[in-house]
Amino acid sequence: MRPSRLAFLLLAVTACGGATASTPAPASPSAFAPAPVASAEERVRVPVDYAPARGARDAAVTIVVFSDLECPFCRMAVPTLERLEEEYAGRLRVVFRHYPLPMHPHARMAAAVTLEGYRQGGARLFWQLHDRLFAMESMEPESILHLAEQLGVDREQLTDALADGTHDPAIDADMALARTLGVEGTPSFFVNGIPIAGALPYEAFDEVVRAELARADEALARGVAPADLYTALTWSGRIPEAAPPARLAPPSAPSPARDTAVYRVPVTGDEPMRGAAEARVTIVGFSDFQCPFCQRVEPTLSRVVEDHPDVRVVWMNNPLPFHQNAQVAAEAALEVHRQQGDLGFWRFHGMLFENQRALSRPDLEGYASALGVDMDAFRAALDSHRHAATIEAQQNLAGSLGARGTPSFFINGRRLIGAQPYEAFDAAVEEARADARAAEARGVSRRDLYDALIADGRTSPQPSAEPGGRPEEDPNRVYELAIPADAARQGDRDAPIVIQEISDLQCPFCSRVQPTIDRLLREFEGRVQVVWRDYPLPFHQNAPLAAEAAREVRRQRGDEAFFRYIGILFENQRELEQAKLVEYAGQIRGVNARRLRTALEQRTHRAAVEADIEAVRTAMGSIGTPTFLVDGRKVSGAQPYDRFREAVEEALRRHGQNP
């Protein structure tokens, strides 16, 4: 039975409510009306096992927070907790439990991502994700995945965990525990078991913390061991009714194993560069003008160049698909480089990073004009996409090296991912310089130094060295994935080489690889056919219905209309709601919009899409997208064209044909 006195008075102005509550606009903490803090008589025993924690295990005060990573009031409470941790360093710990509210569409996915980070990298990585997620202005699935990858979460393992619902039991257990404790909204706190509801001012927490520190000192004076303080101080609390055990396994390795391989990252000399002309150390950076982490690392790179006269930085582009202005910004920057060389490029580069929120075409033209570029040539370059092929080649190179996120760096071929602090770059540069000097001692000239150092480098990522990591797959393994008789196809149906394209219409990497597949069909005409397989990932909420819409378009107008429609959906991945799916179909001649709308409402093609998913999982296990089977052999990800060409040529040779 719950106590007669309500333990939680959750005011709308201080906490996000349950599913039916309305969420008001955030206010400053000082604007909150005072909210009552429960008394010590309402103390509850709150288990802390297996939950991510920050602070000493034997701390005198433990604050358990039930939070929602998409809740604005939870975000506002973060500085209060940080101030408490600073003020009472060594005597206070914070334990985090998830309570994603149904009104926040991406909160549960964000929770699962943090728990996968916890599994892979322990508490350190969990809290990094926690802090960065709360700092996000807009939370979208791809931005969450991008952030996780930036911080070192293995993308493939993360995709598997999300697809399999690996962390659903832990999240559900946290939510069930919260309900037994009377939690009805977020954020909710328990200070040594004393409940506090909402994002209250610092002073409200401080009062309770000070009282609990006094109790802890008394307990220590009585002989209670520091390790037993939390148990002793919460012993008198109410035991939650049927509180479930938290079903989260302890984290595995404390951090992912470092990738020590050297990668072959060719530099043509045509890329924008700064620093030493004949450098001992070359830093190749793959970057995105709209990426906040790329912006954040720029001062660090400038300091590296200033401090190390034998270092050069080479710029390569990897505009990410969910940054809508990144591609045109990259094209604009390369045109400025063509006209004004390195000096003009880096000046323009600085303008773009200083104005990341203003990267539309008119904005770019304004910045270019201020630098005195030839505006007629500038506009013509953007209109004709003069530099698009160069950018695509750099994107493909990044993908082949496993550098999908930005920023990604290769320092004399050794990989360094993300906006790392100066110390990380400095250490990597020193290590690279030692290798370079050894090569110079063998007689290698400065001019040939970089090419010599990367000559034998890897061209694809090494398998994870982490315990429990994914082993390297047998490249000759043949997967038996039966093709439905009515599957959508491109190319000659009698072509000997069948490529099964396993894809998700909301996946940006799936859209990025489409030009490569089109090129394969052109260059191997009559010898290659492509079969489409639906595999919408669970964290892409509009992908299943988009797949169903495409199937209805095909039912009405055939394969050609199907693949035209697929192309339209890939161009509009950010807007795949039902009304938009019907609207886009209007671009395909002969599609009956009423029949399409009815098919979507009745979920006519849902079973067919789910059958594809089940067939893929049965044959291949849990995979990411895009994945391809080229004559039964797996090619993962948006690989560059040469990787697919090699796979097709190998398949042709197996069939006794000359490539």
Calculate mean pLDDT across residues 422-436. 91
pLDDT in tens, 161-176: 887 788 988 998 899 9
What pLDDT sits at residue 36?
Answer: 47
CA triple 383-384-388, angle to 5 deg: 110
CATH superfamily of this structure's domain 489-654? Glutaredoxin (3.40.30.10)
Q: Any idea which architecture 273-454 has in CATH?
A: 3-Layer(aba) Sandwich (3.40)
pLDDT in tens, 38-59: 555 688 999 988 899 999 888 9
Angle between helices 514-523 and 641-654 (to 10 degrees): 40
Q: Is the peptide bond before 299 cis (omega within 30 degrees of 0)?
A: no
Strand-pairing partners, residue 186, are 16
What pLDDT sits at residue 246?
Answer: 43
The yes-or-no verdict on residue 419 having pLDDT over 90 is no
The yes-or-no verdict on residue 429 having pLDDT over 60 is yes
The yes-or-no verdict on residue 295 having pLDDT over 50 is yes
What pLDDT sits at residue 26?
Answer: 36
CA dist., res. 648 & res. 643, Å (int): 9
Domain range list for the chain: 29-234, 273-454, 489-654
Region for residue 214 given its phi and psi (left: phi exceeds 0; alpha: psi -120 to 50; beta: otherwise): alpha
What pLDDT sits at residue 240?
Answer: 75
Q: Is 421 helix (H, G, I), strand (E, B) or coil?
A: coil
Q: What phi and psi, each to the nearest 5 degrees, are found at residue 174?
A: -60, -45
pLDDT band, residue 37 (cuts 50/70/90): low
pLDDT in tens, 62-105: 999 999 999 999 999 999 999 999 889 889 999 999 999 988 88
What pLDDT sits at residue 171?
Answer: 93
Calculate mean pLDDT across residues 420-444. 91
Q: Are 505 and 570 in contact (CB under 8 A)?
A: yes
Calculate mean pLDDT across residues 471-495. 85
What pLDDT sits at residue 510?
Answer: 87
What pLDDT sits at residue 493?
Answer: 92
Strand order in the sheet with 53-54: 53-54, 92-98, 61-67, 188-191, 194-197
What pLDDT sits at residue 9?
Answer: 32
What pLDDT sits at residue 38?
Answer: 54
What pLDDT sits at residue 349?
Answer: 97
Most confident of 5-14, 461-470, 513-522: 513-522
Q: Are 117 and 109 in contact (CB under 8 A)?
A: no
What pTM, to 2 d.p., does this model score?
A: 0.51
How many Cβ atoms from other residues are within 10 Å of residue 258's Cβ? 10
Q: Domain 29-234 classified CATH 3.40.50.300?
A: no
The yes-or-no verdict on residue 22 having pLDDT over 60 is no
CA neighbor of 528 nearest in space, from 519, 536, 515: 519
pLDDT band, residue 323 (cuts 50/70/90): confident
DSSP 8-state code for residue 263:
B
What pLDDT sits at residue 278?
Answer: 85
pLDDT band, residue 339 (cuts 50/70/90): very high
- What is the chain's mean pLDDT, rounded? 86
pLDDT in tens, 377-417: 999 999 999 999 999 889 888 888 878 778 889 999 999 88
pLDDT band, residue 6 (cuts 50/70/90): very low
For 167-289, strand residue ranges (E) read: 188-191, 194-197, 273-275, 281-287
Calculate mean pLDDT across residues 285-293. 90
CA dist., res. 391 & res. 317, Å (int): 6
Region for residue 592 given its phi and psi (left: phi exceeds 0; alpha: psi -120 to 50; beta: otherwise): beta
Give the pair of three-digit tokens for residue 152.
């070192």
Calculate mean pLDDT across residues 19-27. 34
pLDDT in tens, 525-571: 999 999 999 999 877 889 999 999 999 999 999 999 999 999 999 99
Calculate mean pLDDT across residues 101-117. 92
What pLDDT sits at residue 475?
Answer: 66
Q: Which residue has the higher pLDDT, 578 or 641?
A: 578
Mode of pairing for the β-strands spanning 194-197 and 627-630: unpaired
The yes-or-no verdict on residue 32 having pLDDT over 80 is no
> Under 8 Å CB-to-CB from 264, ≥6 apart: which residues?
413, 454, 455, 456, 457, 458, 459
CA neighbor of 433 nearest in space, from 268, 282, 260, 273: 282
The yes-or-no verdict on residue 272 having pLDDT over 90 is yes
What pLDDT sits at residue 634?
Answer: 92
Calculate mean pLDDT across residues 202-227. 90
